[in-house]
A and B are shown apart, each in its own frame.
Chain A
Amino acid sequence: MSIIYFLIGCSVLLALVFLGAFFWAQRNGQHDDLYTPSVRILLDDEPEETEPKK
């Protein structure tokens, strides 16, 4: 059963990685604007102007 020590160590480590990721996202400003991206994704990309017209 001593494998439990290792497993719990792993699970805590993994959880810490996620916490770190959340902190990184927070610092990076990813949670500053939670609304606009939801609209932006619905806007189509413009066709490239350099494309030859047929």
Chain B
Amino acid sequence: MKQAEIDQQTTCFHCGNDCADERIELDEKVFCCNGCREVYSILSQSGLCSYYAYNLHPGVNQAKAGKRLDYLKEPSIIRQLIDYSDEKFTTVTFYIPDIHCSSCIWLLEHLNKINRAIYHSRVDFLRKQVNIRYATQLTTLHEVVALLDQIGYEPLISLQDVVKKQAFDKKDNLVKKIAVAGFCFGNVMLLSFPEYLGISAYEQSFRQFFGLLNLAFCLPVVLYSGREYFQSAWTNLKNKVLNIDFPLALGIAVLFIRTAVEVLAHTGAGFADTLCGLVFFLLVGKFVQRKTYYHLSFERDYRSFFPVAVQVIDGETERPVPLSDIQVGQRILIRNNEIIPADAILLKGDAHVDFSFVTGESVPVNKVLGEVVYAGGRQTGEAIELEVVKPVSQSYLTRLWNNEAFTRSQENRVQTFSEKISKYFTIVLLLIAFGSFFLWLPFDLPRAISVFTAVLIIACPCALALSTPFTMSAALSIFDKNFFYLKNTAVVEQLAHIDTIVLDKTGTITISGDTAIAAHITASDTEKQMIYSVCANSTHPLSRLICQYLNNYAKLNTNSYYEVPGRGIIADIDGHFVKVGSAKFIDATQQEDSSAKKTEVHISIDEKYIGYFTIQQHYRDGVNAVQSLSSAYRLYLLSGDHGHERESLSSVFSMDDMFFDRTPQEKLDFIKQLQQNGHKVMMIGDGLNDAGALKQSDLGIAITDNVNNFSPGSDAILDGRALKKLPVFLKFSKDALHVVYISFCISLTYNVVGLSYAVSGKLSPLIAAILMPLSTFTIISFTSLDTHLVAKQRKLI
């Protein structure tokens, strides 16, 4: 009990973070930072404290610095962001990644209590969107966003609002088509019962009536719900491709024609229920296959990484300018943590630019005045002024997007199993149909036609068409539960065919900006000062880390300085002979516990061994799991960073398979090279520098610590926590493919049984009506159950 109380006292009331260092109190509640307290005070003043009643610590930590929102006053930018506006009210939809619980919904739907000008706000939880309508006269977009920012729900505003666009793309009326097909299917089944149960001789007029009604119900099914199958079969036929849609369309057409003929000629009841059922199940299969992650986007490019606007200095004044209007020669102002949007020359200020996301370099780069700073870097430190030398669309980074890899369609990817098999299936089907037709022809023409149509009806690959969607969508939802989000069901099959894996370093297997440095030295202050002075001369990442570690020393005078690339530094500081470098370079004899994943820097002053620094990159948990893949897959490391971690990574990758200092273009070319040698390549990366390689590879996986953050365009998004499960994911994708194979065999068995009836000319509508749903249900239940069973064996659920 007491423990719990203490716990309550030391965690922030707003966000639940530990506030051991600092305690900020208000209304007897403790907050970890001023940001959190600020949110609380706004909410308590507006009487919105129920926010804290629904969930414990519903807030998101507010310690991060506020962003500049001035650009939201520019009319040209406002116009791009709002959905609708007139004199009375304006509607706008924001994407807010921080929406995560019921308290969020409650608060965002009560914005009206804080700002009366907001008439209406409605949250879509899965899409993480809020739709706001406010009085145009009384408030502005800037105020609304500032309010959201103040209460801790900063909307993500970017040039390419893909997530919002996604919602509008999916309107192809599939649900309506299913509704129509289902409606007709139900009615036709009901009206077919008398036919199967037997109608007495004096009620023959009913038979005709029911038959005509059935035919009427078939019309919308064929003409509306099933139309896309005809369209798809036709376009594929024109391109000389036989895909699964061709036998399906053929089956639908034959079913309809034979039903119409039988009903109108009073020769039988036709196959109306089989027809409606077929189309209905096929459409359901299509629906299941389509899984959408509303909050994820797989198509992001550089535009959603860059800010919407940038501060331009115009003589004395500065104003925000939309990124697309930035011109060469303009002076721009970049503050701490802002992204440099275009290639520019540094004019003023101390630039420490973090390029880890763009080039993979793990350490911020120091730029001197007059030097060109490439777009995409993030300034850390004071505000800097730059002059734009290239427009945004022509910058070093964005040029990558002009590569053909970004414009080509995805057609050269691995053909799916059902695509491959359906070609042969169609040919065999047509052979059997025509064969039996010509076998019967000499004896009995009507019989021959009836057998011909019966074969096409019974062999219609409904179950085959359903086995892949149901298996893969079950697999997709299992991956989803394990924080691995696939773009569509075809990606599961691609995953199973991979034989080569290429990984990026910074951000993918290391966590950028998270480096632990520890000193094991026995040195006086003057000696430390000497070490600092030596390292300050060097641009080597390790030297810079040591400088950061010993940052409160003044630099001493360097008399002579010599750097041996890749080994170390020899320098003369105030008459003292200082050596900094690898153990071999220093001749260090004290080789203590040199674990494989540590980089060590040894130091000696005047030939006296002082000690060493250990520098440990923070690796993700999954690195060992990645290593276990090396037996079954070819592993490559492809990094934009310098090779100073080569040694520490040799436990995971073999020495020859690590490549450093690669530009984004070289990464893309490397993947292409592997593909040309016949490999199926999977690329795992996180940054913009990997975007080209991700696109070029057979399967690009973007890894991220927060799925709502920017991730480059890819086929799949992997949460950093799940990297350790990668080997299991790969095995499971193969299992899923096996399930498809087995279900294909099952559906083929049904087809053979049905064909034996059809070829002998004994197919009655009743048999078709039983066989079709039976095979469908077998396939659906088998694939879903077996996929889950396999997932359980792999411990994924």
Contacts and interface: CB of A to CB of B under 8 A. Distances in A.
Interface of A: 1, 4-5, 8, 12, 15, 18-19, 22-23, 26, 31-33, 35-36, 39-40, 42-44, 46, 49
B124 A42 contact: no
A23 B176 contact: yes
Contacts of B110: 46
B123 A19 contact: no
B435 interface: no
A49 B47 contact: yes
A5 B488 CA distance: 48
A36 B123 contact: yes
A23 B175 CA distance: 9
Contacts of A46: 50, 110
B397 to A, nearest CB: 36
Contacts of A43: 54, 102, 105-106
B18 to A, nearest CB: 28
B105 A36 contact: yes
B179 A36 contact: no
Interface in B115-155: 123-127
Contact residues of A: prevailing secondary structure = helix
Q: What bracket does the count of chain B residues touching chain A fall in?
A: 20 to 34
A39 B50 contact: no
Interface in B36-64: 47, 50, 54
Contact of B176 (A15, A26, A40): A26
Given A26-B175, A31-B175, A42-B102, A36 B124 contact: yes
Contact of A39 (B47, B102, B179, B187): B102
A4 B190 CA distance: 13
Nearest to A9: B213
Contacts of B126: 33, 35-36
16 contacts: A1-B203, A1-B206, A5-B209, A8-B209, A12-B213, A18-B183, A19-B183, A23-B176, A32-B167, A36-B105, A36-B123, A36-B126, A40-B105, A43-B54, A43-B105, A44-B50
B183 A39 contact: no
A47 to B, nearest CB: 10
A33 B213 CA distance: 36
Interface string B169-198: 000000110011001001100010000000
A40 B107 CA distance: 11
B179 A19 contact: yes
Given A26-B175, A43-B106, A15 B123 contact: no
Contacts of B54: 43
Contact residues of B: prevailing secondary structure = helix
Contacts of A35: 125-126
A19 B180 contact: yes
Given A15-B183, A22-B179, A36 B206 contact: no
A43 B107 CA distance: 10
Contacts of B203: 1
Contact of A12 (B47, B180, B187): B187
Interface of B: 47, 50, 54, 102, 105-106, 109-110, 123-127, 167, 175-176, 179-180, 183, 186-187, 191, 203, 206, 209, 213
Nearest to A44: B50
Nearest to B113: A46
Contact of B125 (A18, A39, A44): A39
Contacts of A4: 206
A1 B206 CA distance: 10
Contacts of A39: 102, 105, 125
Contacts of B209: 5, 8
B176 A36 contact: no
Nearest to A19: B183
Nearest to B127: A33
A5 B210 CA distance: 10
Contacts of B109: 40
A43 B125 CA distance: 14
B125 A15 contact: no
Nearest to A36: B125
Given A15-B183, A36-B125, A40-B105, 19 more contacts: A4-B206, A8-B209, A12-B213, A15-B186, A19-B180, A19-B183, A22-B179, A23-B176, A23-B179, A32-B167, A33-B124, A33-B125, A33-B127, A35-B126, A36-B124, A36-B126, A39-B125, A43-B54, A46-B110
Nearest to A33: B124
A46 B47 CA distance: 10
A51 B206 CA distance: 67
The 6 closest A-B pairs by CB, nearest first: A36-B125, A33-B124, A39-B102, A43-B106, A35-B126, A19-B183
Contact of B213 (A1, A8, A23): A8
Contacts of B106: 43
A18 B186 CA distance: 13
Contacts of A36: 105, 123-126
B766 to A, nearest CB: 21
A23 to B, nearest CB: 6
A46 B203 CA distance: 65
Contacts of B191: 8
Contacts of B176: 23, 26
Nearest to B124: A33
A46 to B, nearest CB: 7
Nearest to A12: B187
A18 B175 CA distance: 15
A5 B205 CA distance: 11
B294 to A, nearest CB: 9
Contacts of A44: 50
